[in-house]
Structure 1
Amino acid sequence: MMNYERKHAWQEKLRTGQIHSAQQVKMWVLPHGVICEMVQVGGLPILRNGKYDSMNTVLARLLADAGIMGTVILYSTATIPQNLSRWLTHWLSNDPSEDDPWLRSMTVTTMGQRPTKPLPFQVNVIEPAILEAGEVFEAIKHRSRDVSISQFLIEANDVTYRLEPVRRMDARIVDCTEFGYVLRTQGNHTFLASMLSRRVQGQLAHYKVSPADLVGTDVKVEYTMFTEGNRLCNFKSPVVYRSKALDALGDQNVPTYDGPYPFKSQASANRALLTVTRCKRAAITRTDGEIYGKDTESDAKLFSFRRGVKPGLYAATFEKGDDVEFWQFDSDFAVDAIDPDALVSVITDQIFYATGMSLLEIFLMYDARLPSQSVKT
């Protein structure tokens, strides 16, 4: 991701008047994909994907020959958006040719540039909207209804800010853990929401209600993206922003809350996404109380299983003979968007050969799924 300023910086500039609400700004509405940069060095076209440069690859040559330089957004149907950057790096590192079928799976979005010649993949051209800075948040709420939108870039005073969509849904709280609420949607998606709006935090304190008291009630949730398919969490960055039960208690003007946050943080140390492809080459080791997988190429620790489970964390079911055991599943990489069934399918054999145990499933642990006392943990 480019080094753009984030939402809090935009809000601070508006609040302090460094950006006036009536000031005109540019807003780019971006589709899903990877933001890359096309440059030329020594006459060779280079496609920059984060910290990785793809020099003189077929994709870079085709774009350069068609006069497309600068910022581009790349998308492919080959994988989900969260995996796209890593997939793109891997694909280009194999030096694909113009006959490669994945080349035709690409969609390239340019920011105002039109190709000067036909290309063997879809090219979309977007133009910025000009609006007042004070209208940006309302425009984002309106445009966020389009699920094909990934993010918004706002240009003001030679600085670019990256703001994410705001999408909303209803959900029911089915458990309260030390790490957040376990929510279930009408579509039967179950996931953890560890973030609460200031309004909800203020209401909890004002009415002297504990977070656990809201179990069984309905809430409104904001999120930035929904990922199709079977995922540990289909919703990116979920925030509980309204509680119907708390709103029904009356007062509209709730005092501002500046106390301690009710839930423990469990942010991953590495923002990169753990991928099933990478886990295929994991070397499995078992030590006392832990089973872990390391990348055989980089020696990075990809994931681990530890004895003992906690509600609000991901867990795994192991089987050995007639015994079933539940272990905690953890990774320094981001794991929410991973397909748990696919992950199990690619590492279960390695785990069995290393430990003699069969990995059956990976899932979010919460009260209704806690193992009975007769099962080993």
Structure 2
Amino acid sequence: MNGNAYFFHHRAAEAYKFNEEHPFDPVRLMLSIDLLKEAGALKDEEIREPDVEASDELLALAHRTDYIQAVKQLDNEADPRSKSVLSEQFGLQDGDDTPFFPGLHGAASSIVSGTVSAAAAVMSGKVQHAYHMAGGLHHAFPDRAAGFCVYNDAAIAIAYIRHHYKAKVLYIDTDVHHGDGVQWCFYDDPEVCTYSIHETGKFLFPGTGYVYEKGTDKGFGSCVNLPLEPYTEDDSWLECFEGSLRKVVASFQPDVILSQHGCDAHAFDPLSHIHCSMNIYSRIPALIHQLAHDHCQGRWIAVGGGGYDHWRVVPRAWSMVWLEMTDHKLAREIANHKKLRLPGGWLKRWRMRSPFPLPRYWLDEKKDIPAIPRREQITEANRSMLAIAIQDL
């Protein structure tokens, strides 16, 4: 058993599926957990059931009570007209990106339970690190669903930490889509710093996350956004990430880090235009891990997030978070050995189900991701943005 990190997973989270055609598919959870098991990095007995109930009171830390009641009511509403009105009012109607499905409240609540359980385990001192792969639904707002997200588990966990432990929280969001829901929940709070590195909202949902969004009132300066140019590649992405995050942590001096590991900035992802490889997903958790120990006595909570190439990208990226969090030897081997093979048992088990040929290695091969001709211009544009983002730190 790993005594330094807890891995939380609720089977009910696998029911968080809108429909067969929807890009959000919980198969990515099963693929990722199975990859960790095949790699010898996770045992069945190490997977913990969440032990914090997602009560209405807990959900209300980030959501309006009428919204919570509406999500619950939709499960039992028989009148089509009432169901239609509720769905439209709260962003859950058919045709939207977050359509209602039977059992939605229970599935979404289980995700909140997992993330808050991870936060409670770390903040109570039971363990230094905790990972809840199903979490990271960062687009949900207090009064409506958005961007495949119904309950904002990250915002609820941050509010839980603030309420019970009065700790300063640094929220790090590496999803290719701006972490808008979490940002707006704490936009005026000087004790919560929200950091998001993402594709610029000029071209991508949710259309926010500009460099001038810095917080308001007492919270001014505690919001940092790194909006990157479309087709940004590894070197520029990492230059902006590493060049800004170290300064943010040194300036804010958090008590705990909660990181969201959306992995849709990969070149294979169908819902964005960033052109990165698996290399950044090896480096992201390594830096966060180091900063947690340097500044937060090791307190680090990690959640999943976006990622819509379920077969080739998400399992590798999310597994790397756990490998780093547990100081598993594979984390170092992957970083140092570019052609470290994926477990044969995992490849054999999932090969026939995958719509694409599965990768052979933990990191991408150069031939898989062609270079972008406008690299220099993109890099310079990102450097200019970075200078503005960190000028006050």
TM-score, length of structure 2 as denominator length: 0.22
More helix by share: 2
> Rg: which structure is higher?
1
Structure (1 or 2) with the greater strand fraction: 1
